[in-house]
Structure 1
Amino acid sequence: MIGLIQRVREARVSVAGQVIGEIGAGALVLVCAEPADGEAQARRFVDKLLKLRIFADAAGKMNRSVADVAGGLLIVSQFTLAADCTGGNRPSFTGAAAPEQGRALYEQVLALARAAHPVVAQGEFGADMQVALVNDGPVTIPLRIA
């Protein structure tokens, strides 16, 4: 499972001009399932996401998690995180899970996050989404769970 976590002051996702998910301060999480992923990877991904210390403590050090700061999570599916650009100028996305598997794992990540964290918003799997954010820091962390 591939993720890209951005610490944000605010973020929102829209489909067809309508906001479908938004948060204040917290983390925008772009997530992509890979063919070998299953429930174990989804669980490890959410566990790591909730414990990742990317928020500043009183001394200004990144020592606090999204749970510690009561931040929101905006979780958005993004198969393009699996892009392979080594073969030419057009990216290949064969490293991403098939749509049915990707949707199931995305929904599992959402369910696990909601069971463990009070503020979870989402995008719409497979939709043409527009994502707006104010990156805080900026802090952007790649996360890969095998």
Structure 2
Amino acid sequence: MRVVLQRVKKASVAIDQQVVGAIQRGYLLLVAVRDSDTEADLDYLVRKITKLRIFEDEQGKMNLALAAVQGQILSVSQFTLYADTSKGNRPGFATAGQPAKAAEYYDWFNQKLQAAGVEVATGKFGADMAVTLVNDGPVTILFDTENK
């Protein structure tokens, strides 16, 4: 799995100009699944993301996790994180997970985040979505379970 995490002051996702998910302070996650992903990959990402300390403490150091700031997560599926741009000018997506597995794992990932005590808003898997965000920092972290 690949997840791009952006620390945000607020973020929302809309489908056909209707907001379907929105958060205030927290993380915007762009999530991609591969066919070879496992439950262990899901658990790894949930643990890393929920424990990640990238919010500033009273000394201005990135030392606080999401729970310490009562942060939320907006999770958006994005298969294009597996774009292969090695040949030509048109990206290939053969390494992205098949839609059935990717949808299942995306939902499962979000459920595991919620079970870890995080408030999670989502987009809709496979939909054409418009994502709006206000970056905080900016702070952007890339997770790839192929490179733990």
Aligned counterpart, 2:76: 76
**Sequence identity percentage:** 47
Matches within 5 A, 1:89-104: 89-104=89-104
- TM (norm. structure 2) is 0.96
Inter-partner Cα distance in structure 2 for 1:14 and 1:41: 28
- TM (norm. structure 1) is 0.97
Inter-partner Cα distance in structure 2 for 1:94 and 1:57: 42
Alignment coverage as a number of residue pairs: 146
Inter-partner Cα distance in structure 2 for 1:144 and 1:117: 23
Matches within 5 A, 1:101-140: 101-140=101-140
Letter of the aligned partner of 1:28 in structure 2? L
SS in 2 for 1:54: strand
* Contact kept? 2:13, 2:21, Cα under 8 Å: yes
Aligned counterpart, 1:30: 30
Query: Mind listing any 5+ residue stretches in structure 2 that lack a counterpart?
Result: none
* 1:117 Cα deviation after fit: 2.2
Query: Mind listing any 5+ residue stretches in structure 1 that lack a counterpart?
Result: none
Inter-partner Cα distance in structure 2 for 1:89 and 1:68: 44
Inter-partner Cα distance in structure 1 for 2:107 and 2:59: 37
